[in-house]
Amino acid sequence: VTETLCFRFADLHPDAPELREDLDWLLRFVARRFEIRVRDELLYEEVEFPVLELAQVLDAWMATDMAERHDLEYEVTGGENGTLLLRSTASGWLVDSAYRSPTTPVPALITDDELRHAISSFIEELHRETGRDYDLDVRALLTRVRADASS
């Protein structure tokens, strides 16, 4: 089954000798390979990608009320701007990246439900893998970071 929007990662590992606090996990826990696909078209790919940072940004973004939810422009820490762009249109969400290959067509719009499902699946998969291999509770981490940001 082809997912409308899919965040794929492989080979999670720490990128620092020690991950002590939530901030270390967010910035120094990476996937050796990461990609974003829309309807199976490759939109973005990167190595050594901090997947928990992106998960935290998406989690916080989804937690805001729909009426107050602005377009999202995510820039991976240490990289260039435009890693992931989520733009609201009258007909749905445009998911794009400044790194989209010129040969890849502009992605088709996706619905709010499809976007929500993709983000939830991404976080769920991270939660499962990090819980199994690193004894890290990703959902608890995201909740803590969100709470700290709003306090």
Residue ranges that bind other proteins, judged by CB under 8 A: 15-17, 20-24, 26-28, 30, 46-48, 53, 56, 76-80, 99, 145, 148-149, 151
Task: Tell me how far, at minimum, the Cβ of 114 lies from other proteins, in Å.
Answer: 26
Task: Tell me how far, at minimum, the Cβ of 50 lies from other proteins, in Å.
Answer: 9
Toward other proteins, which CB reaches closer, 54 or 110? 54
Toward other proteins, which CB reaches closer, 26 or 36? 26
Toward other proteins, which CB reaches closer, 4 or 83? 83
Contact between 68 and 55 (Cβ < 8 Å): no
Contact between 43 and 100 (Cβ < 8 Å): yes
Residue 34, both tokens: 């990461």
Toward other proteins, which CB reaches closer, 47 or 106? 47
- Angle among Cα 111, 109, 32 to the nearest 5 degrees reads 90
Task: Tell me how far, at minimum, the Cβ of 98 lies from other proteins, in Å.
Answer: 10
Return d(Cα 148, Cα 14) in angstroms, integer: 23
Q: Which residue has the tokens 């690193």?
A: 134
Task: Tell me how far, at minimum, the Cβ of 91 lies from other proteins, in Å.
Answer: 30
Toward other proteins, which CB reaches closer, 32 or 128? 32
Return d(Cα 22, Cα 76) in angstroms, integer: 17
Going by the DSSP 8-state scheme, the letter that residue 110 receives in this structure is B
Task: Tell me how far, at minimum, the Cβ of 77 lies from other proteins, in Å.
Answer: 7
Contact between 147 and 135 (Cβ < 8 Å): no
